[in-house]
Amino acid sequence: NAGVTQTPKFRILKIGQSMTLQCAQDMNHNYMYWYRQDPGMGLKLIYYSVGAGITDKGEVPNGYNVSRSTTEDFPLRLELAAPSQTSVYFCASSAGSLGEQYFGPGTRLTVT
Amino acid sequence: GIQVEQSPPDLILQEGANSTLRCNFSDSVNNLQWFHQNPWGQLINLFYIPSGTKQNGRLSATTVATERYSLLYISSSQTTDSGVYFCAVVPNDYKLSFGAGTTVTVRA
């Protein structure tokens, strides 16, 4: 049971490039989340999903897109990367809306 | 949105000391979690504690939901306890909101 996995661990992008951050979970959780953590701060919710085919915006969705075609996978797409998107990105999952959230190891992204 | 305030922002401990971290929140919550972010950035689940008291080894936590606060106790601290401790709550919009964290440094 791997829990929540994320790839890649690190990435450097040039301004204007695009990329997809991958997230997968093997706990059969319906709820999945993407957060970003800026230096010295807590995590902020970007997008979340309550099940396959259903996604919704969090607190800071601008510049990102998500999709949820399966229960296991929840990729995060960055279009036209900007320096303001330099951050550490965490994916999480939970069994329900009030369930305990479990986090992946994070992806450290730098946009220069 | 809900405000989550953690105190103190920074804490320096000598190995073996005890400490208490506090989390105050501005509205009623349905869930509360404590996390430890280690120096490598990994988020480790400590407690899922919407109310009551739980203990896990040298750590324990108490949430008094009616008074809108939670406490995390660290006893006999070790250098491996260093890192940032986050409190996160789920209010009525069902979205986890994080505090800014307490940075703990345990010196040998």
Q: Pick B93 or B11 by higher pLDDT.
A: B11
Residue labelled with tokens 């220069």: A112
- Nearest-Cα distance to chain A for B77, in Å, is 23
The residues facing B72 across adjacent strands are: B21, B61
Count residue pairs from A and B with Cβ separation < 8 A: 52
Cβ neighbours of B36 (radius 10 Å) = 20
pLDDT of residue B96: 87
Percent of chain B with pLDDT over 70: 100
- Of the listed ranges A95-99, A106-110, B35-39, the least confidently predicted one is A95-99
Does the distance separating the beta carbons of B45 and A106 come in below 8 Å? no
Q: How far apart are CA A100 and CA A86, in angstroms?
A: 27
* Interstrand relation of A10-13 and A107-111 (parallel, antiparallel or unpaired): parallel
Residue A99 has pLDDT above 90, yes or no: no
Instruction: Give the mean pLDDT of chain A.
Output: 95
Q: Which of A45, A88, A106 sits opposite B96 (nearest CB)?
A: A45
What's the pLDDT tens digit per position in B52-69?
A: 999 999 999 999 999 999
> Taking the C-alpha atoms of B72, B75, B79 and B84 in order, what is their torsion angle to the nearest 10 degrees?
10
The residues facing B10 across adjacent strands are: B103
Q: Which of A101, A106, A108 sits opposite B33 (nearest CB)?
A: A101
The mean per-residue pLDDT over the stretch A78-87 comes to: 96
Residue labelled with tokens 């279009």: A79
Chain B hits for A106, CB-CB cut-off 8 Å, are 41-43
pLDDT of residue A31: 95
Q: How far apart are CA A86 and CA A109, in angstroms?
A: 5
- Of the listed ranges A46-50, A86-90, B89-93, the least confidently predicted one is B89-93
Q: Does B29 touch chain A (CB under 8 A)?
A: no
- The residue of chain A nearest to residue B45, with distances taken between CA atoms, is A102
SS3 A16: coil
Q: Does A61 touch chain B (CB under 8 A)?
A: no
Buried b / exposed e over A73-95, threshold 16 CB at 10 Å, is ebbbebeebeeebbbbbbbbbbe
The mean per-residue pLDDT over the stretch A45-72 comes to: 95
Does the distance separating the beta carbons of A33 and B96 come in below 8 Å? yes
Residue B45 has pLDDT above 80, yes or no: yes
Q: How far apart are CA B32 and CA B90, in angstroms?
A: 6
Query: Residue B77: which pLDDT band, with cuts at 50, 70 and 90?
Result: very high
- CA B18-B21-B26 angle, 5° bins: 160
What's the pLDDT tens digit per position in B16-35?
A: 999 999 999 999 998 999 99
In Å, how far are A12, A87, A90, A95 from A83, measured between CA atoms? 11, 9, 18, 34
What's the pLDDT tens digit per position in A2-39?
A: 899 999 999 999 999 999 999 999 999 999 999 999 98
